Amino acid sequence: MATFRRRRILPNESSKVLEGSESTRETEEILNLRFTYKKATIPFLNAVTFKDHCRAQEKILARCNLKECVILQTCNRVEIFAVIQPGESCRAYESIAECWRIEVKQSPTAFYSGLEGSSGYEALTHLFRLASGLESMIVGEDQILGQVQDALNESEKRGVAGPILRRAFDRAIKTGTKVRIRTGLNKGAVSIGSAAANLLEQLLGSLEGKKIIVIGAGETGMLVGKALAVRKPKVIYVANRTYQMGVRLAKMLDGQAVRFNRIRDYLADVDVVIVATAAPHTVLTTELVADILRNRGGKELLIVDLSQPSNVEEAVKALPNIHLRNIDDLRRIAEGNLKMRLAEVRNAETMIKSELERFELQCRRERVEPLISAICQRAENVRQKELTKALKMLGDLDQEHEKILEDMTRSLLERILFHPISTLRKAAVTGNDQIVSTVEELFDTKLDQDAVEYLTRNSDERIAAWHEDQKART
C-alpha cells in the first residue's frame, strides 16, 4: 500500500518528485475536482452538472486515461473522484478539467473561477469530511451519506470504479457513520427538508390550511414532505413520473397522489409547489406557469425548486404573483445551523483526523505485504528444493526424522527472515522508501503494482499553480 507522504511535482517533470522523496515507485493517485455551493451559485451548479453523467463518466475515463472514476451530483455539488496513472497528477487534472468544461459548454473564465481540486491526502480528507456531513450546506445532514454510497455503487455496477475508490469510499462512509453516532452531529440538525419547511414558514407564516404539491417522490421529496406533514397543511399532493412511487410517499404523508400529467390541474389551486425531481430537463416552464396563472384569480404562488439541475425556468420568477426560491435561499438557515453546532463540528474533525491517521498506517503497512509475500514465497521455494535434495542424499528416513528436518529448516527460515521483515514493515510505517527499495534490490523482488491499491502522494501545490495559470490566461 502506498503511504500518505506528501510530495510536489516539478513544473515540467510530472513523473519526477522533488527533493525529499527518494522513491519514484509507480503508484496510483486519487484526484478530486469539484464545484460546490461554497463557491458556485445554484444557476452555475446547474450549468456544470452533467446532463447524462453516465455517458460523461465513461468519456472522461477513456479520454483522460483514468483507472477509475466516480461522479457525485447533488443539489449542492458536482464532484469527480478519479484514480489516475502514476506520476500524472497535473496532466490528469488539466485533462479532466478541460474535458468537463467542454462537456458542459462553459467558457474558461467562468469554469475555472469556481473549480476546486485536491489530490492524495487532501482528496481523501475531503472525501471523509464529505461523508461525515461537514462539507454539506446543512452540517451533519444524513442524506449525503446515502448519496456517496449510491454514487460508488452505480459506478461499480457499470465497471468505471474499482478496488481503490471502493476502499476509500467504504472507509469514508464508515467514518461518516461513526462520526454521527459518537458526536451526535446529526441529532437535531436541520435537514434539507426541515430547512425548506422553515423557509416556507418565514415566507407564509403558519402552514396550517395551506395546499401543497410536492413534485418528485425521491429522497429529497420525501425529506421535505415529512417536514411539511408535521406542520399540518390542509393537503399535500404528491406527483411523480412513476405513479406508484408517488402513491407510496403520499400514503406515508397522509396525502394524495396525483398523476404527473395532471400537475397543471393542481397548480391552479395550491399555495406552494415543491419541485424535487432528478429530471435533467425543465419541469415547470414559463409558458406552463403563465398559463395556470389565468385560473388562479390573482392568488400568489410560492415555488421552491430543490432540484439539481434546476427544474424551474429562471424566467418564471418574473411572472406576476409568483415567488420563486431555490437552494441558495436555504443558505441563511444553514449558516445559523452551523453556528449552533460548532462544538459538534470540532469533535467530528478530531475524529476524522484520527480515522485518516489510522487509514494512513493501515495503507503503509499493507503496501509492503505483497513484497513480503513474494520474499517469503521465494525463500520457501528454496527451502523446499534444498530439503528435497538433502532427503535424497540421506537416503531412507522414517517420518519422524523427516519431520525433524522439515521443522528445523522452517524454523531457520523464519528466524533468518524475521528481522528483515520486521525492518521492512517498520520502514513502511515510517515512510522510509529507501529501505523498501533496498530490500527489493537485495531480494530481486519488485512490488506488484496491481496489488498496490492507493496513491496518496500529494501534488496540490503544482495543481494549484496550474489552476492559477489557467485563470490568469482567461
Contacts of 305 (CB under 8 A, 6+ apart): 275, 284, 311, 312, 324, 325, 326, 327
Which residues lie across from 235 on neighbouring strands?
211
Question: Three-class SS of residue 13?
Answer: strand
DSSP conformational letter for 312: B
CA dist 428 and 65 (Å) reads 29
Per annotation, catalytic residue among 75, 90, 99, 363: 75
Cα distance between residue 307 and residue 313, in whole Å: 12
- Contact assessment for residue 101 and residue 108, using Cβ atoms and an 8 Å cutoff: yes
d(CA 130, CA 127): 5
Question: Three-state SS for 237?
Answer: strand
Radius of gyration of the chain (CA): 29
Residue 453 φ/ψ, nearest 5 degrees: -100, -10
β-strands 29-36, 77-84: how paired? antiparallel
DSSP 8-state symbol, 190 = P
Cell digits of residue 92 = 490528469
Three cell numbers, residue 117: 481540486
Q: What is the DSSP letter of 231?
A: T
Q: Are the C-beta atoms of 48 and 100 separated by less than 8 Å?
A: yes
Q: Are the C-beta atoms of 69 and 159 separated by less than 8 Å?
A: no
Q: Take residue 90 and report the three cell numbers written for it.
A: 497535473
- With CA atoms as reference, report the closest residue to 148 among 127, 167, 179, 124: 127
CA angle 73–74–79, rounded 5-degree value? 40
Residue 75 annotated among the catalytic residues of the structure: yes
SS3 135: coil
Q: Which residue has the cell 455551493?
A: 37
Distance in angstroms (rounded) separating the CA atoms of residues 173 and 434? 34
Task: Give one DSSP letter per residue of 51-96, joined into a string.
Answer: TTHHHHHHHHHHHTT-SEEEEEEETTEEEEEEEE-TT-HHHHHHHH
Q: Which residues are catalytic?
A: 75
